[in-house]
Amino acid sequence: MPVFSKRATGLCNRKPQQHMPTQRDLLILPGTGLFGPRHLGPPEATTVLMVEDQMICRRNRYHKQKLAFILAAMRDHRDLLRSKGYNVTYYDLNTAVALPEAISETAKQTAPQSIRYFDTDEAAPAKAIEAAARSLGLPTRTV
């Protein structure tokens, strides 16, 4: 079996390629779909938006303890994503900011190239996201 030197194989002085994203996406992460970091894309190319929207508290007739659980899970997930290097914009219930408002404000601050969101069985949030994206002139993608 022939032995090749590092120089002969071209491995000498070769630095690993690092993918530097050219665009940044705004990913809207709902409280009822907290996906792990491996499903969100690279931190340097993703701004995550999480909103404790009063609409979720009113639209679904959850028990108070279940609502408290969902909100606590959202806050814990926010902390996890920040520890993994994600830029997370988070609006809690005390801000009384609705999802379309939060999308608009975050888009002004981060200037994303597109908006991504996870497809859910609820039509109202998807319609709100699509309407906000249209008003901002940004393309949307469901994940």
Question: Residues 54-88: pLDDT tens digits?
Answer: 877 777 677 888 888 989 999 999 999 999 999 99
| pLDDT in the model for residue 3 | 53
Q: Which residues contact 129 (CB under 8 A, 6 or more apart)?
A: 28, 99, 103, 115, 117, 140
The more confidently predicted of residues 131 and 16 is: 131
CA distance 95 to 104: 15
Phi, psi torsion values for 140, nearest 5 degrees: -120, 155
The predicted model scores a pTM of 0.79
| pLDDT in the model for residue 110 | 93
Residues 101-127 have pLDDT tens digits of 999 999 999 999 999 999 877 788 899
